[in-house]
Amino acid sequence: MKRRDVIKGGLVLMATSTLASIYKPAYSKTYVGGTGAWRATPPPPLSVVDASRLVYLTPDEAKLVGAIFDVLIPADELGMGATEAGCVTFLDHQLAGPYGTAAKDYKLGPVVEGLPQQGPQSIMTPAEIYRKGLVELEQAAHAKFNRSFMELSEEQKITFLHGIENGAIAFETLKSEQFFVLLLQNVREGYLADPMYGGNRDMVGWKLVGFPGAIYDYRDWIVSKRGKKIDVHPVSLLGRA
């Protein structure tokens, strides 16, 4: 029986039967004081994502994302660009997981557009937005330049992405400016999250701003380095092979 039916039936009837022994559900737990058994279930061990193969994006999609990401965070004297830093790998794994399926969102209907202050109402998931958005972006590039985004000059890429960002270049199945917001958020995440997620290679993003990472104890510096530059090699949770 589906959970919802049970509840409805139960609520209407309120028929509770006393059981000789308490029913033990699969997941819910009972912790009794004084028994010593009150440890949490440990979270799964940390692991480094496997960058050797794609898990959600197709190879073509991955190339296109890489080209876009490298405009958003280009290689320069301050450090490597987004693709080299692993941001495409990062995104690919994010889209394959609970983030990609928007597993935590409320998705029940009715789905209607509201006022801006009521927040996003679309129930399209990030994985779906990328699948559609990338197709639309390519179509828009072809419509404007008669070729793929990847074949545009650096300057054309920048102008084109500005058009996506401000909505001047519109999509049909989703809002281009919302797709851009997602692209920018995800590339920054990849560049700045712990390297175990696939991006931020050699902690390049952290070095860019001088963020020390997972050091977790600044008692020595809170006074001695107040207002002073701190030169320290950042620390990540898990390195990357």
Partner 1 sequence: MNYKRPKADVVIVGLGWSGSTMAEELTRAGLKVVAIERGAWRDTSTSFPTTRDPDELSGSVRKDILQAPVTETYTVRNKVGQTALPMRKYHNLTLGNNVGGAGTHWAGASWRWLPFDHQPYSHVMQRYGAGQLVDGLILQDWGVTYNDLEPFYDRFEKIAGTSGTAGVINGQRQPGGNPFEGSRTSPYPTPALERSRANVLFAEAATRLGYHPFPVPSAMIGAPYKNALGLNLAPCTYCGYCQLYGCGNWSKSSPNICILPVLMQRPNFTVVTECEVIRINTTPDRKTATGVTFVDSDGNIGEQPADIVITATFTLDNTRLLLLSGISTPYDVASGQGVVGRAFTFQTLSWGFMFFENEYLNPFMNTGALATQIDDFNGDNFDHTGLGFIGGAGIQSLSNQGLPIGMAGLLPQGSPQWGKGWKQAFRKGYQNYAQIQGQGTSFAHREQFLDLDPTYKDRFGQPLLRITFDYNENDRRSGRFIRDKCVEIAREMGATQVGGDSFADRPYSGYTPWDSSHVQGGVVMGEDPRTSVQNRFQQNWDVHNLFVIGASSFPNNAGYNPTVVVGATTLWTAKAIRDLYLKNPGPLVRL
Site for partner 1 in 84-143 (CB under 8 A): 99, 102-108, 110, 112, 114-121, 123
Stretch of residues binding partner 1 (CB under 8 A), selected from 17-25, 49-57, 58-66, 144-152: 17-25
In the complex, the smallest distance separating the C-beta of residue 82 from partner 1, rounded to whole angstroms, is 10
User: Which residues within the stretch 50-89 sit at the binding site for partner 1 (CB under 8 A)?
Assistant: 71-74, 76, 78-79
* 168 touches partner 1 by CB under 8 A: no
In the complex, the smallest distance separating the C-beta of residue 167 from partner 1, rounded to whole angstroms, is 15
- Site for partner 1 (CB under 8 A): which residue of 66, 92, 205, 240? 205
* 241 touches partner 1 by CB under 8 A: no
* 159 touches partner 1 by CB under 8 A: no
Return the closest-CA partner of residue 194 out of 128, 139, 240.
Answer: 240
> In sequence order, what are the residues at sequence separation of 6 or more whose Cβ sits closer than 8 angstroms to the Cβ of residue 74?
81, 82
* 228 touches partner 1 by CB under 8 A: yes
In the complex, the smallest distance separating the C-beta of residue 139 from partner 1, rounded to whole angstroms, is 22
Return the closest-CA partner of residue 46 out of 237, 234, 241, 240.
Answer: 237
Q: Is 235 helix (H, G, I), strand (E, B) or coil?
A: strand
* 163 touches partner 1 by CB under 8 A: no
* 47 touches partner 1 by CB under 8 A: no
In the complex, the smallest distance separating the C-beta of residue 67 from partner 1, rounded to whole angstroms, is 14
| DSSP, residue by residue, 115-177 | -GGG-------HHHHHHHHHHHHHHHHHHHHSS-GGGS-HHHHHHHHHHHHTTSS--SSS-HH
> In sequence order, what are the residues at sequence separation of 6 or more whose Cβ sits closer than 8 angstroms to the Cβ of residue 138?
64, 148, 149
In the complex, the smallest distance separating the C-beta of residue 21 from partner 1, rounded to whole angstroms, is 9
Q: Which is nearer to partner 1, 108 or 143 (CB)?
A: 108
- Site for partner 1 (CB under 8 A): which residue of 25, 52, 53, 233? 25
| Tokens (6 digits) for 9 | 């039936």
Cα 33 to chain centroid, rounded: 39
Q: Is 213 helix (H, G, I), strand (E, B) or coil?
A: strand
**Dihedrals φ, ψ of 228, to 5°?**
-115, 155
